[in-house]
Structures are given as structure tokens and as C-alpha cells.
Structure 1
């Protein structure tokens, strides 16, 4: 299923995109990160059968935002891969499941910080399968209700792009 990731995540080839999300080139992931080249990412909100949100802490070996908490699974979109393909691949890989329903696309936005820039596609999916998160990606995980998550938003160190996606998702749903 999906494409194989190189053993070294810095070697994965990414499409480099412009401010309109048009492909303008390709680069290895490590170079794209080091040079701040704009690429594509997917963010998948995963809820269990009871509607609780999958929350995890990233491993200390992650290339970007190591040991930070995240309320999305996801990652970079590989060269030539669609957002939809990447969303399903990343969700299944990180959750350690197969046969997940296809994540539902919600919206896209351009994430930009001083060091990073990527087009971000936000999805949602319900996972009723038992999860077995990928140990290379996930150091700790749990499912939290929205009420349980809320106080942790100011207590835990969150990945900044995921936090921005979370706030944009809340705004999107309140319309």
C-alpha cells in the first residue's frame, strides 16, 4: 500500500510549490526543511467510535518539532502524491492500522512561520479500529474528549502548525 518511505526521512523527495500551491520543483525533504522551501502537508483529525480525539507526542527523533504534542496525524506529501493519497497513507502509518476509511477533506491553508512554509490540507476520519501507533513517529498517545483537550492547549508544548490547523478547524466548523 502506498509508496515506500526511504529509511532516512531526510531523503524523501517532495514537490516544492509556490504561493498558489503549484509545483515549481522537487527537493529531498532534508533540503526542503533546511532551506525553508514551501511544500505540502496533510493534517488528519482522528476520532474514535466515542468521538474522542487522537492526541500524541511526537518522538524526539522527528525532523521538525520533536517531542511536541499534536492533535493531528499526518505529514508531508511526497513528490507526485495527491493530498488524498497522502492523508490515507499517513493516517494508516501513524495509527498502525489498515483498512481505515478514506479521510474526508475539509479545507486547505498556507502555513507560514519564520522557518517553515507549507500548504496544509486538513482532513477528518473516524477510526473504530484498535490503534497501534508507529513507534518511529509516536512516543505516547491517548484519546481525549474536547473538554479534556481544552486545558492542555496552554499546558503542553504543541506543534505550531497543528495548533494553527486546530484553531482554523474550530473556526471552519463554527460557520
Structure 2
């Protein structure tokens, strides 16, 4: 199936379902939907960071601090988090990601989605989807901090990263 044809629940300001639409239509019309963001770290605490492929519908070729994606119609955030983490990391048998918090991402220019943030521990090797991930690595926190000012990042991932820092009450975002 073409990703643009995937059916999504369309939600209101309170994250209540008000309809359904194909992903491509939701993006084109700026319809609010649901997404999951999963922070993946290895046993050493290194963060999985990747660069999106140029064929992505949203934010192509940008770097991301999270794996994740849209929540399908009728799918729970928790189920979407596990599905997306396993798909994007290219692994199976991950522990269910731990829910941290939810926030409304809205760039004021037609990109708006309810965003559930999770964390999961993932042991390499990983085999990320070639159609989703152009480059990846498990980076130590100090390198992530350096790269934040150097690389071009997806704006919704940066918003989730900032909220995660606030959620944890500090400048660094360790896996608990």
C-alpha cells in the first residue's frame, strides 16, 4: 500500500476522533491526526538517531531523534508505538515501549498532530527500513548535544525532544 493511502483517524483539539481520511489527504488538508515518537537507546544509553529518506511525505531528508510515525485508524497509541519501533528499527520482539506523555504539535502552518512520546531499549543489531531511513547510528549523549546545532532536524521531533527534557527536569535526556 502506498503510505499516502493509509487511513488515519482525524481528531479534534481534545484528541477525540471526528472522522477518517487517507494520510495523503490529511497532510494536504492539514487535518489533525495522531502520531507516536519513540526514543530508542541501547544498553550503553546511546540514542538511535537517523536521517529520513528523501521520499518521506513529511520532513524528507531531515535528521530525527525518534523513530515513530502515524497511528492508523482504530489503532491505539501503545500498539502504534510498538509497531512503528519494530518496523523502523527492523527488529522484532522489542519490549513494549513505555509511555511518557502526550502533547499537541502544531506548527501554525497546517501541520498538527497529537503526539504520544515513548521510550524503549533496543539492542543492536538493527536493520532499519531502507525506504524510511537513509542513515542511522547509536550516538552518545554528548555527540547528540553537538549535532543538535549542526544538523537539520525534523521540527516535530525537536518539539518532542524539548518536552522530554522538560518532562525529565533537565538539560540531558537519559533513558530512565
TM-score by length of 1: 0.95
Which residue matches 1:119?
A: 114
Task: Compute the displacement of 1:129 (Å).
Answer: 4.2
Q: Tell me how far apart the structure 2 counterparts of residues 30 and 174 of structure 1 sit (CA, whole Å).
A: 37
Which residue matches 1:143?
A: 138
Could you say what the CA RMSD is over the residues aligned between the two structures, in angstroms?
A: 0.8
Deviations 1:111-140 (A, max 9, x none): 001120000000000012410000010000
Which residue matches 1:70?
A: 64
Which residue matches 1:4?
A: none
Structure 2, gaps ≥5 residues long: 171-176
Flag as ranges the 4+ runs of structure 1 deviating above 2 A: none
Q: Does 1:86 align with 2:80?
A: yes
Structure 1, gaps ≥5 residues long: 1-6
1:156 aligns to what SS in structure 2? Answer: coil
Corresponding residue to 2:9 among 12, 15, 32: 15
Q: Does 1:131 align with 2:126?
A: yes
1:65 aligns to what SS in structure 2? Answer: coil
Deviations 1:53-110 (A, max 9, x none): 0000000000000000001000000000000000000000000000000000000000
Which residue matches 1:152?
A: 147
2:95 aligns to what SS in structure 1? Answer: coil
Q: Does 1:30 align with 2:30?
A: no
Q: Does 1:61 align with 2:55?
A: yes
Q: Does 1:161 align with 2:156?
A: yes
Corresponding residue to 1:173 among 157, 161, 168: 168
